[in-house]
Chains A and B, each alone.
Chain A
Amino acid sequence: MPIHDPSYRRYTGSRNEPGSSWLIIAETEIRGVLRKKLFLFVLLASWGQFFVRAVMFYLSSNFSSLDTPALGILSPSVQTFRQFFELQEVFVLFVTVYVGSGMIANDRRSNALQIYLSKPVTRAEYVAGKLGALLFFLLLVTLVPALGLLVLQVMFSGSLTFIGENLFLVPAITLYAFVEALLSAFAMLALSSLSTSARYTAMIYAGMVLFSGVLFEVLRDVSNGALELVWLSFRANLDQLADVIFLLPPRYESPWMVSVLAVGTLIGVSVAVLKWRVRGVEVVT
C-alpha cells in the first residue's frame, strides 16, 4: 500500500515574473465591471453614436448620386471625428464615475488595500492595475469606436481617398483618446484614494468636472469674453487640446500650451495624491 505524506508542501510551480501583477488586478477589475448589467447598458448606449455615424457614412458613400444637400452633412470630415469625441464626453464621464469611483475607495473601505499590498505587489503595480482597467473602458468608448468609424468609412466607400487625405487622423484620434482617458482616469483614481465611499467620490468628481465648466462659462459670458479662463475648466482644456490635435482652429483665444500645462498639472497632482494615499497602513498622528 503506498503511503502518502499529507503534510504541508511548498508550491513548486512556476511563478509570474515580478512586475506583471498589475495585469491580474486589471483583469479582475474588468471582469467585475463587465458582470454589471447597468454598466453593460451604459456601454451599449455609448456605442449609439458609432452606429448612427456608421449609417451616415454608409448613406453618404452609397447614395452620392442623389446629390442632395443632406449628403453634405452625412459625409465624413475631420470635424466629424472631432465632434464624435465631443459627443462622447458625457459617456466618458459616466464610465469614469461608474468604473472608477469605487476602485480604490472600496478597497480602502474593506481594508483590501492592506491585503493587496501584503502580497508581492508594489504600490505602483496596484495603481497601474486599477488605471489599466479604467483606461480599458474609457478607450472602449472613445478610441475603439473612433478608429472603428475610420475603418468603416474605408469599407463603405471602397476607397482610401479620405483616409489618405487625412492620414493624421489615426495618430490624432489615438493621442486625444489617450489624453482624455489618462486625465479622467488619474483624476478619478486620486479622488477615489481620498475616500472610503464610492458614491461620495463619484459626487465629488462629477461636481468638479461640471462645476469647473459652469464657472468657466459664466465668467466668460458675464465678462463678454474678457474672463476666458480656460485653465479653470476640466472640459474646456480638453476641448482646446482636441481642436489643436485635430488640426482645427482652437475654439478659445487662450494659448493651447496653457491647456497642456493645466492637464499636465492635474495629472501630476493626481499622481502625487496616489503616491501619498495608496499605502497598506495609514498612520494617524
Chain B
Amino acid sequence: MSTPLTSNVPVVPSFFRSAVRVYELSLGRMLWSRRTLFMALVVGGPVAVALVLRLLAALDLLSLTGGVDFVDSANQRVTIDGPGIFGLMVWGFYLRFSVPLLGVFYGTSLIADEIEDKTITYLFTRPLSRCAVLAGKYFAYLVSTGLVLLPSVMLVFFLVVSLLGGSIGAAFPSLVTDLALLAVGLAVYGALFMLIGTWFRRPLLTGLVFILGWEPIVAVVPGYLKRFTVSYYLEGLAPHAMPQDRAVTGILGVMQVSEVVPSVAASLIGLGLILVGGLSLSAWVVERREYVIEQ
C-alpha cells in the first residue's frame, strides 16, 4: 500500500474550469443513462415517421396533394407541401412535445438524480462552488439533448422536405431557424425545469403540471397570463405557419378571442428573461439548500 498523492497547488479552479470538469463527468452519465430509451423514442419516432412517409410517397401509396386541413396562427388556411409537412412535424413532434418533455425529464433530473442516487455529496465535497456543479450539469444537458435532437431534425428535414417537389435549398434557411428555435427551447425549458428540480421535492410532477396543465390552460385565458409560459414566446419565433391545437382554437373561437402571437423581439426578451431568471434562481437555491441524504 502506498500513500496518496498530495495536490501541490491548492488553488480553487475557476468557475469555468470547474463547470467544464462537472460537464465532462455528467455528459457520459446523461447519454448512457436509463433515459436513453426515452431519448431514443423521442428522437427515433419522427425519423421513423419521415421514413414511412418517404416510403409511402415513393410507392405512390399516399397522396399528399389534397392539402391538410389546418389553420395557422393568423387563421389562414395553409397548403401542405414538403416544407409544410416538415413544419408540421417540427411543431407537432419537436416544439410541442420533445422540447418541453426533454426539458422536464432532464432539467428536473439534473440535481434530483444525484439526490435520488445519493451521490450529490461526492460533488459537494470537492473544492468547487455549487453553482459550477449546476452550470456543468446544465451544459451537459444542453449538449446531450441538442446532440441527439438536432440531428434528428436534420434527418427529418432531408427525408421530408423534398416530398411533393419541395426544394431543400429553398427550405434550408428555415431549417437553420428551426434548429436555432429548438436549441433556444431546450435552453429555456431546461433552465426553468432545473429551477423546479432544485426547488421542489416532486419536481417531475410539478414540471408535468406546468407543461400539461398551466401552459395549455393559460393559452386560452385572455389577458397577460399566457406571458408566463414558454410556449407563448417560442411560438413568436416559429418560422412556419404552425397549426393550432384544436382545443385551443375551439375555446378561443367560443370566447371570440383572437390569439396574439408576440413579435420576435418580444419573444427573445421573454425567453431571455426566463432563461436568465431560471439559471440565476437555480444557482441561488442550490447554494443555500441543504441536501439531507439519508442512508
Q: Do chains A and B touch in the complex (CB under 8 A)?
A: yes
Do A97 and B37 form a contact, CB below 8 Å, given A218-B92, A222-B88?
A: no
CB proximity of B293 to chain A, nearest CB, Å: 15
Of the candidate stretches A21-29, A160-168, A195-203, A238-246, the one touching chain B is: A195-203
B67 neighbours in A (Cβ, 8 Å): 224
Say whether A40 faces chain B, with CB atoms less than 8 Å apart.
no
A221 neighbours in B (Cβ, 8 Å): 68, 70, 88, 92, 243
Say whether A180 faces chain B, with CB atoms less than 8 Å apart.
no
In the complex, A42→B213 CA distance in Å? 11
Of the candidate stretches B179-187, B202-210, B232-240, the one touching chain A is: B202-210
A199 neighbours in B (Cβ, 8 Å): 109, 112-113, 116, 204
Please state if A222 and B208 are interface contacts (CB–CB under 8 Å). Answer: no
Please state if A207 and B49 are interface contacts (CB–CB under 8 Å). Answer: no
Please state if B37 and A204 are interface contacts (CB–CB under 8 Å). Answer: yes
Do A211 and B42 form a contact, CB below 8 Å, given A217-B92, A222-B64?
A: yes
Say whether B35 faces chain A, with CB atoms less than 8 Å apart.
yes
Q: For residue A218, which residue of chain B has the nearest CB?
A: B92
In the complex, A266→B64 CA distance in Å? 32
Please state if A214 and B88 are interface contacts (CB–CB under 8 Å). Answer: no
Do A219 and B204 form a contact, CB below 8 Å, given A207-B38, A211-B42?
A: no
Interface residue ranges of B32-85 to A (CB < 8 Å): 34-35, 37-38, 41-42, 45-46, 49, 52-53, 56, 62-64, 66-70, 80, 85
Please state if A210 and B101 are interface contacts (CB–CB under 8 Å). Answer: yes
In the complex, A93→B204 CA distance in Å? 13
A-side interface mostly: helix
Say whether A44 faces chain B, with CB atoms less than 8 Å apart.
no
B56 neighbours in A (Cβ, 8 Å): 223
In the complex, A95→B53 CA distance in Å? 36
In the complex, A224→B85 CA distance in Å? 11
Please state if A207 and B101 are interface contacts (CB–CB under 8 Å). Answer: yes
B-side interface mostly: helix
Please state if B93 and A203 are interface contacts (CB–CB under 8 Å). Answer: no
Q: For residue A45, which residue of chain B has the nearest CB?
A: B213
Do A97 and B92 form a contact, CB below 8 Å, given A221-B68, A222-B68?
A: no
In the complex, A197→B212 CA distance in Å? 22
Say whether A90 faces chain B, with CB atoms less than 8 Å apart.
yes
A207 neighbours in B (Cβ, 8 Å): 38, 41-42, 101, 105
Say whether A38 faces chain B, with CB atoms less than 8 Å apart.
yes
Please state if B205 and A215 are interface contacts (CB–CB under 8 Å). Answer: no
In the complex, A210→B207 CA distance in Å? 14
Say whether B89 faces chain A, with CB atoms less than 8 Å apart.
yes
Please state if B68 and A94 are interface contacts (CB–CB under 8 Å). Answer: no
In the complex, A224→B68 CA distance in Å? 5
Interface residue ranges of B145-198 to A (CB < 8 Å): none
Please state if B64 and A224 are interface contacts (CB–CB under 8 Å). Answer: yes
CB proximity of A55 to chain B, nearest CB, Å: 17
Q: For residue A203, which residue of chain B has the nearest CB?
A: B105
Please state if A93 and B212 are interface contacts (CB–CB under 8 Å). Answer: yes
Bits for A217-243, please: 1 = Cβ < 8 Å to B, else 0: 111011110110000000000000000
In the complex, A186→B95 CA distance in Å? 30
Please state if A38 and B205 are interface contacts (CB–CB under 8 Å). Answer: yes
B212 neighbours in A (Cβ, 8 Å): 90, 93-94, 210
Per CB-CB distance, the 7 closest pairs between chain A and chain B, nearest first, are A218-B92, A214-B97, A224-B66, A222-B85, A203-B105, A207-B38, A200-B34
- Please report A residues at the B interface, Cβ cutoff 8 Å: 38, 42, 45, 90, 93-94, 97-98, 195, 197, 199-200, 202-204, 206-207, 210-211, 214-215, 217-219, 221-224, 226-227
> With A98-B205, A207-B38, A218-B46 given, can you name 6 additional A-B contacts, CB distance below 8 Å?
A38-B206, A94-B213, A206-B101, A210-B97, A218-B88, A226-B62
